[in-house]
Amino acid sequence: MDMSRFHPDLRLERLLMVVVSGTIGLGTCAASAQESDPGSPDPSVSDAALAPPAVMSIDEAPRIDGVLEEIWQAGTLLPDTFRQVDPDEGAPPTQRTEVRLMRDTRNLYIAIRCFDDEPDRIVARALQRDGSIGADDNVRIVLDPKRDKRTGYIFSMNALGARSDGRLVNGRTDRDWDAVWEGMASIDDEGWTAEFVIPYRTISIDPGAREWGINVERTIRRNNERVRLASADRDIDFDSVADAAVVGMFGEIDQGAGLDVKPYGKFTWEEGEESSLDPQAGVDVFWKITPSLTLVGTVNPDFAETEVDQRVINFSRFNIRFPEKRDFFLEDAGYFNFGGISSTPAPFYSRRIGLSPEGQPERILGGLKLTGSIGDVSVGILDTMMTRGVEPAGRNYFAGRVLVDVLEQSSIGLISTAGNPLDGRSNQLVGADFNYATSDLEGGRTFKASAYFQQTVTDGVSGIGSSSAGIKLQYPNDDWRATFGWFVIGPDYFPALGFVNRLGVHELFGGISRQWRPDTDLIRSIRVGGDGYWVGDLDFGTESMNVEFDVPKIQFERGDTAYLEVGVNREVPTEDFLVAGQLLVPAGDYTWSRVEAGFETTSKEPLEIGVNGGWSGYYGGSRLETTVNARWQPAPSLLIGGSLQWNDITLDTGDLETWLASARVNFYLSPLVSWENLIQYDTQSETVGLNSRFRWAFRDGQEIFLVFNQNVEADDLEFTIARTEIVTKIGWTFSF
């Protein structure tokens, strides 16, 4: 493997140097190896003996091919403190794992030897980059380069070398973060090995932090076994960097000039009412202003390679929030998370950008994004998203976020947005939030809390009626889990760059559950509990109510799961509306019960099947629903999957039967070469959609895409091609 691209010759003096003073406490790596009484320290033990292990510095980089050559024997061997998280918490692993570290001025190198006395039983099927490797034997690494116990990075790899990554920011894991790094794996007679190369320029670093947090987790899939280097406790999430081990990182860190330039070129041919050929070009520029602060600029960004949305039939009276899939907005999106809000009322929803008030795509001319940290302050700024195609010609959208670290794992923050893609009125939003987290409760348990306030101003309309406020409390542990929350939304609250379902309401929500782990070879865990919500107007008149009970949810030792759920709903629509855009529901007060059951087979087998079905009353009538999902991967190079959803609704105003179907046929020649195909059909649009994407990545950041999209109208099995699109796109990253 040519490592020269990690060592550019050009350099640029850093404009800012971020120094976090103070050293971090004793690393778990060393401490957890002690089996003596954890009370008073032994005065005979020197400080050097208690110090975290220092990562070995090298002059010559190892060859990255998945095979551990002799140079790794000189690497820093982390203490063998691996313990089971599942199935037997705290027990020794059934297979041994070794982790070695080395570093030079540009990269951190990590080698993991996963010993296995039955290597022919290693589960390894996934080959796609950033795909789901959780069903395979895999290893995950979490790094906290700033040792701030709040932010970090996750790098994962399975036994075939398929890689994925994520970023920890603002208390959440952003799995859409996509980084430039290298890694390879191989299976041999002793088990399997994995090599990681993490360039310092890829991650945010505090040069003053001489200790990094690190944790490693290995999954042995045939046993459904997870083992962890540090904090092998089910109550502690693997991505809790506050509970990671510690290693010493001494020596020079060189991120080069910190400048990446990624131009692209694209040709689009479209056939519909008229044929057209549209050439386009653009560029993204990434500049690390400091080791922990990154500025991204984009000119004429393009998202042709983005997978189309999964189709959804809307059976509610509210809008559906579709996930963001465009790379420019996904990168570092976690910086804009606010107040513990998962869906609504969200102050910033990036999918508003690039759409006209009628929901039609607009071309984005360019934008700037600044993300990272300055000392104890994290920032996220998105600005100058100029679009054209609607009046007034050209619009500017802004979102800004600031978080200040307080206490050990908590933060306080501000958010602001400006711009209105929905109508011509001026619109601004400001908000403040407090996010508290601790994993230091008795027994190592975790507690989280958040509170927020938002205020919108629309063409001078403000005041308490244009605000929203809320709190959320979480006890997210293994045996007991509990959540409670409340928020209120004023009748004039209008987050034009955000997302909200309804105005002028209070909402109470929460739930509690208990999990047992019976001493049996058949069942691993049983969980029972309930959750629900109540939504009322500002006079506390009920608009919606839902209560659900899991009775129970069972995970079998083999990995299969089954559940039975019962519930009660109440809905009080004040206006008539259409279910699935077709069946009329009159305004009224409706209460009904429902029951649902489901079963899903283990993901460690080549064939995975999930089935669920339910019956309920429904707005004075009844509803039957069934969903079947299947996934078959007979070999790493081939994945076939599909889903089928059927609904049969009977109301006084009529009957409605809907079908929603999708199928996938994906081919993977290697972790860098893939051909993915998605076909979707639904009875409401009566169209078949095909999205086919071929990707050839020479390495991260250097790739070619060929995309084929086609919509076919399907009326009583008479098919008519409505639209065809073919896109060829090349993107290439140049690092300086």
Pair (367, 480) in one structural domain: yes
Tell me, yes or no, whether 327 and 432 share the same domain. yes
Among 700, 672, 701, smallest CA distance to 285 is for 701
229 and 357 housed in the same domain: no
Beta bridge pairs of residue 428: 418, 457
Dihedral sign of CA atoms 173, 176, 179, 182 in order: positive
Residue 560: inside a domain: no
Mean pLDDT on 508-521: 94
The more confidently predicted of residues 533 and 49 is 533
Do 225 and 93 lie in a common domain?
yes
Within 10 angstroms of residue 268's Cβ, the number of other Cβ atoms is 18
Kindly report, residue by residue over 187-240, the tens digit of the pLDDT. 999 999 999 999 998 898 887 788 999 999 999 999 999 999 999 999 999 988
Cβ neighbours for 241, distance < 8 A, ≥ 6 positions apart:
142, 144, 149, 150, 151, 152, 168, 213, 215
Q: Which residues contact 278 (CB under 8 A, 6 or more apart)?
A: 267, 268, 269, 270
CA nearest to 242, candidates 148, 167, 174: 148
Same domain, 234 and 361: no
Q: Is residue 390 part of a domain?
A: yes
Residue carrying the six token digits 């400006």: 418
Q: Are strands 56-57 and 97-103 parallel, antiparallel or unpaired?
A: parallel
Note whether 421 and 357 are within 8 A (CB).
yes
Q: Report cis status (omega within 30 of 0) of the bond before 87.
A: yes
Q: Which domain holds residue 92?
A: 55-248
Q: Is residue 456 part of a domain?
A: yes
User: Quick one: 218 and 330 in the same domain?
Assistant: no
Both 76 and 197 in one domain: the answer is yes
Note whether residue 196 is domain-resident: yes
The CA distance from 90 to 78, in Å, is: 18
CB neighbour burial string for 620-645, b if at least 16 within 10 angstroms, e if fewer: bbebebebebbbebeebeebebebeb
Residues 210 and 324 in one domain: no
Q: Tell me, what's the pLDDT at 7?
A: 32
Q: Is residue 68 part of a domain?
A: yes
Residue 164: give its domain's CATH number.
2.60.40.1190
Q: Which of 503, 536, 563 is the last residue of a domain?
A: 503
Separation of alpha carbons 713 and 482, rounded Å: 47
Domain endpoint, select from 503, 532, 548: 503
pTM of the entire predicted model: 0.85
Q: Which residue has the higher pLDDT, 42 or 498?
A: 498
Provide the percentage of residues in the chain whose pLDDT is more than 70: 90
Host H or E run for residue 284: strand 275-290
Is 5 within a domain?
A: no
- Whether the pLDDT of residue 487 is over 60: the answer is yes
Residues 217 and 323 in one domain: no
Question: Distance between CA 187 and CA 182 in Å, rounded?
Answer: 18
72-73-77 Cα angle (round to 5) = 90
| Number of domains making up the chain | 2
Please say which residue of 199, 220, 248 terminates a domain.
248
Position 736 scores a pLDDT of 84
Please indicate, yes or no, whether residues 348 and 477 belong to a single structural domain of this protein: yes
Tokens of 169: 């920011």
DSSP 97-108: EEEEEEE-SSEE
Residue 238 and residue 343 in one domain: no
How far apart CA 128 and CA 136 sit, in angstroms, is 12
Residue of 38 and 80 predicted with greater confidence? 80
- What are the pLDDT digits (tens) for 18-32? 222 232 232 333 333
What is the SS3 assignment for 327?
helix
* Mean pLDDT computed over 133-152: 92
Instruction: Give tens-digit pLDDT for 652-701.
Output: 999 999 999 999 999 999 888 999 999 999 999 889 999 999 999 988 88
Count CB-CB contacts under 10 A for residue 394: 11
350-401 per-position pLDDT tens digit: 988 887 666 667 788 899 999 998 888 999 999 977 665 545 545 789 999 9
As a whole number of angstroms, the distance between CA 386 and CA 297 comes to 13
List pLDDT tens digits, range 290-343: 888 999 999 999 888 888 888 999 999 998 888 888 888 888 888 899 998 988
* Overall average pLDDT of the 453-478 stretch: 93
237 and 322, same domain (yes or no): no
In a domain, 26, yes or no: no
**Rounded to whole angstroms, how far apart are CA atoms 337 and 8?**
34
The per-residue pLDDT of the chain, averaged, comes to 87
DSSP codes of every residue in 479-537:
SEEEEEEEEEE-TT---TTSB-S-SSEEEEEEEEEEEE--SSSSEEEEEEEEEEEEEEE
User: Is 64 within the bounds of a domain?
Assistant: yes
CA distance 86 to 141: 18
